[in-house]
Chains A and B, each alone.
Chain A
């Protein structure tokens, strides 16, 4: 059996007005970067909070690093970056980091050494200026994000959980975050992060789980997810774009399930029963001048749209975290 960093079994969480998570099961092997994908309000944050035992599930069990997540000792081996970030504004950066480290059971001396390392690594401590001595509210937003990030990783956790880590990051910090995730993976750590930005997930993740409306839509390794959803998407590039007849072909629901229209470039998801061959014939017959016609592996973005659907996103938008 594979060594699992996280094993969620049949977990549900119901709030007064709605079901946030509905019998969700998923496994994350150790040493992987795992993406928890879903529209806003799909239940990602609720799931993450349940993993961290911040809120208790109504049913189901959660096993983290081989132990029940109700074991308080397990929290010391986890690092968590919440979606909504914040620090004690009036404390000095070093004091905040010391406090966060102490909460994870890291001693003062050890903490100080690691704080120095991290501050230097993320250029918060240079020859000219040591931001560690400054109060948190003297720092820019970007710098505060770095501090928060250090706080998440200071105790060298085995499992790192990042909730929407890329939201609100400037490009430089986003790059620093990606580098760190890659570095963590190289050192054998497990990283789980939630996002609704598919590009980031596609580049970073070994495996993903897509959830919508509190339910799992699909999960698996990136390769298997892509393979399962391959063969149904055709990339079409037309000289001069689509004329009326060509548009009619794209709008034929017996042939095209969904078309991503970029004026001269189209990504077509074939309807069930339809083949690429038929589509090509119909397009040529409609007078399309074809520059490119290719069966492609769908992007994670497309898989997401295809499997979650527009309704899932819209409904999800109104939900609660």
Chain B
């Protein structure tokens, strides 16, 4: 036991001391915070920036729809307290559209204009309009135009139906916002969307940590092999203890990092109002933190530990099989594939977290440590399912450790050619 402890201690301390670890651990939360804040910050900020001035509107509707659209596009500017600069509107009749269109397209090509929105009778009748511009592929730009045009058409129609302009505007202004609220056995469990985002976060965090620390183990084993230190060590402790110490030591490093990350993320979440304010964003996106039941929290930690152990022992076996970094990359492909396979199915599972695919993926031992935690945080999962999945992963862990320990024992002192599948089977048998 004392020797196992010595190995664990060395693996842990040597890694925690590295600059790489310190930087990633400290700046990881900053990175996450940026990911969390940036989209909100940019979208709010982006709305304030006037894009309308660089836009030309060709109005062939005959009912002044162009003016309405231009005014509507300027609303965010007004809201932000700026001086509204209206887009230039060219009012033409239907037959004049093609002439002015050609002229404006030439200007766009000469980079004198950004884009042109063409409104005609079809716009009033069926809501069809055209936008020509270099940024026609930009979803944001087109969406902004669509929304302004829809608003203008609605207002125009209302007016035609004899409703005053103000009333029409008021009518058209209505926005629907459905806030999904998750219902669990314990009651209402917070924001549905937040749960989904949190689920994704958990899945990616597990995926990242398993890949990072699994590869870390691989490198550690390979280093001991190439520096030949392995032989000195196994003359003092059994390879099994060395392997166990490695997996535990590196796992502890991972847990340390996660604890720091989770801790600072929670802290950030609680102080998010101040952070947003400091960045000059007042109306931050509304979200409530999903509540996590104690059973789920415990299961999350267990899934991380088991998932990590499963992959770590496989990575260790790969490290013991090869003699160079290049070989290691090749030989670790199958293990990486299992991880990538799991992460590919994150999206489909998320769209239907109770479907057949989700169910299957949360029982396959190699994908369960990523898929199940995500499902658990996104939707309520019956405890029996969680326990079943955990047992499956635990069983797979035992098999993986057993196989790896055998490959490790033989491979650690083998140099030169990478073993073929047949040789590998012989290693497992003879160890």
Contacts and interface: CB of A to CB of B under 8 A. Distances in A.
Interface of A: 16, 49, 52, 54-55, 72, 75-76, 78, 80, 82, 84-91, 99-100, 102-105, 148, 151
A84 B235 contact: no
A88 B223 CA distance: 8
Given A86-B227, A103-B237, A49 B413 contact: yes
A92 to B, nearest CB: 10
B235 A99 contact: no
Given A80-B235, A151-B232, 14 more contacts: A16-B423, A75-B235, A75-B237, A82-B228, A85-B228, A86-B227, A87-B232, A88-B223, A100-B232, A102-B3, A103-B233, A103-B236, A105-B2, A148-B232
Interface in B169-200: none
A87 B234 contact: no
- 3 tightest Cβ-Cβ pairs between the two chains A and B: A86-B228, A86-B227, A103-B236
Contact of B232 (A16, A82, A102): A82
Contact of B229 (A54, A72, A86, A105): A86
A89 B413 contact: no
A103 B231 contact: no
16 contacts: A75-B235, A82-B228, A82-B231, A82-B232, A82-B235, A85-B228, A87-B227, A88-B223, A88-B229, A89-B223, A90-B14, A91-B14, A100-B232, A103-B233, A103-B236, A104-B236
Of B7, B234, B238, B426, most A-chain CB atoms within 10 Å:
B234
Contact of A84 (B7, B231, B234, B238): B231
Contacts of B232: 80, 82, 86-87, 100, 148, 151
A104 B235 CA distance: 10
Contacts of A52: 235
B259 interface: no
A31 to B, nearest CB: 22
Contacts of B227: 86-89
Interface string B1-27: 011001100100010000000000000
Among the interface residues B3, B232, B238, which one has the most CB atoms of the partner chain A within 10 A?
A: B232
Contacts of B235: 52, 54, 75, 78, 80, 82
A54 B413 CA distance: 9
**SS of B interface (majority):** helix
Interface residues of B, number: 23
Contacts of A103: 3, 6-7, 233, 236-237
A84 to B, nearest CB: 4
B10 A99 contact: yes
A105 B1 CA distance: 11
Contacts of A86: 226-229, 232
Contacts of B10: 99
A86 B223 CA distance: 10
Interface of B: 2-3, 6-7, 10, 14, 223-224, 226-229, 231-238, 413, 423, 426
A75 B236 contact: yes
Nearest to B231: A82
A54 B231 contact: yes
A104 to B, nearest CB: 6
Nearest to B423: A16
Contacts of A90: 14
A281 to B, nearest CB: 56
Most buried by A among B231, B234, B426: B231
A54 B426 CA distance: 18
A82 B224 CA distance: 14
Given A86-B227, A91-B14, A105-B2, A100 B234 contact: no
Contacts of B413: 49, 54-55
Nearest to A152: B232
Q: Which of A16, A76, A86 has the most CB of B within 10 A?
A: A86
B277 to A, nearest CB: 44
Nearest to B6: A102
A84 B413 CA distance: 10
Contacts of B234: 54
Contact of A16 (B223, B224, B426): B426
Nearest to A99: B10
B419 to A, nearest CB: 11
Nearest to A52: B235
Given A100-B236, A102-B6, A88 B14 contact: yes
A87 B231 contact: no
Contacts of A80: 232, 235
A101 to B, nearest CB: 9
Contacts of B237: 75, 103
A151 B228 CA distance: 14
Contacts of B231: 54, 82, 84
Contacts of B14: 88, 90-91
Contacts of B228: 82, 84-86
A55 B10 CA distance: 25
Nearest to B236: A103
Nearest to B10: A99
Contacts of A55: 413
A103 B239 CA distance: 13
Contacts of A82: 228, 231-232, 235
Nearest to B226: A86
A192 to B, nearest CB: 13
Nearest to A82: B231
Nearest to A155: B236
A168 to B, nearest CB: 12
